[in-house]
Amino acid sequence: MNPAELAIHEEPIERLDEHAEISIAFLVERILAVSLLEDGLGGVRLIETSIASPWIKDYDAIKGEGPTRWLKRFDTSGWGLIAAYDSDARIGGAVVALGLELDRAILWDLRVRPEYRSSGVGSSLFRAVEEWSRSKGCRSLKVETQNVNLAACHFYVRMGCELGSIDRFAYPDLPDETQLLWIKSLV
């Protein structure tokens, strides 16, 4: 993709249906396995590990999830929608939630069309999210992902995020997945 053709701008949150048309699905071939340390203090180590049977993870396929449901489930009045376009084609987007935590924005959702992944679109969207969040007075940005989304974990580290917490029990219906919360200072 020619970076000169990439356009990023804010759109009304009511356009989440268009955002939802971009697949968030990805192939899981490696994970960050959680290994408990035997130091008696409850520490953990994340170890990048191959899995025997790769599979497709699609957060939108989880019952009750996905962008088209958020307008009804949440007060999105303080949320932002940032879209990425290649010429006239919508190729990615990011949803940012405000009002859930004091002085902190939450990167609720970031997605890029599969054929545009690893081309700089996600990085451009992330930087736009940082700018948008700063303009709203936020001092930090929080991002949730899971240990099965290795590409996202590496991406957030490249974008300057630090691992803030690990919750092995966050998803009772998905006991093999661990919640990872990433924090990026905006000051």
How many Cβ atoms from other residues are within 10 Å of residue 51's Cβ? 13
Name which of 99-103, 120-124, 167-171 the model is least confident about: 99-103
Of 23, 27, 15, residue with least CA distance to 95? 15
Structural domain includes residue 90: yes
Euclidean distance between CA atoms 126 and 32, whole angstroms: 22
Residue pair 95/109 in contact by the 8 Å Cβ criterion: yes
Structural domain includes residue 177: no
> Per-residue pLDDT tens for 14-52?
999 999 999 999 999 999 999 988 877 777 889 999 999
Written as six digits, the tokens of 132 are 């948008």
Structural domain includes residue 159: no
Tell me which DSSP letter residue 114 carries.
G
Judged on CB neighbours under 10 Å (0-12, 13-18, 19+), 54 is exposed
Structural domain includes residue 84: yes
Euclidean distance between CA atoms 67 and 58, whole angstroms: 13
Written as six digits, the tokens of 11 are 């759109």
Spacing of C-alpha 84 from chain mean position: 15
Structural domain includes residue 117: yes
pTM passes above 0.85 = yes
Q: With residue 153 as reference, give the H or E element that holds it.
A: helix 150-158
How would residue 127 be classed by pLDDT, with cut points 50, 70 and 90? very high
The pLDDT, as a whole number, for residue 44 is 84
The pLDDT, as a whole number, for residue 184 is 98
CATH number of the structural domain spanning residue 105: 3.40.630.30
Structural domain includes residue 110: yes
Residue 162 has pLDDT above 90, yes or no: yes
- If you write DSSP's letter for every residue of 36-87 in order, what string do you get? E-SSSS--EEEEEEEEEEEEEE-GGGSTT-SHHHHHHHS--TT-EEEEEEET
Counting the structural domains of the chain, the total is 1
The pLDDT, as a whole number, for residue 2 is 64
Q: State the residue range of the domain holding 118.
A: 3-138
The pLDDT, as a whole number, for residue 39 is 74
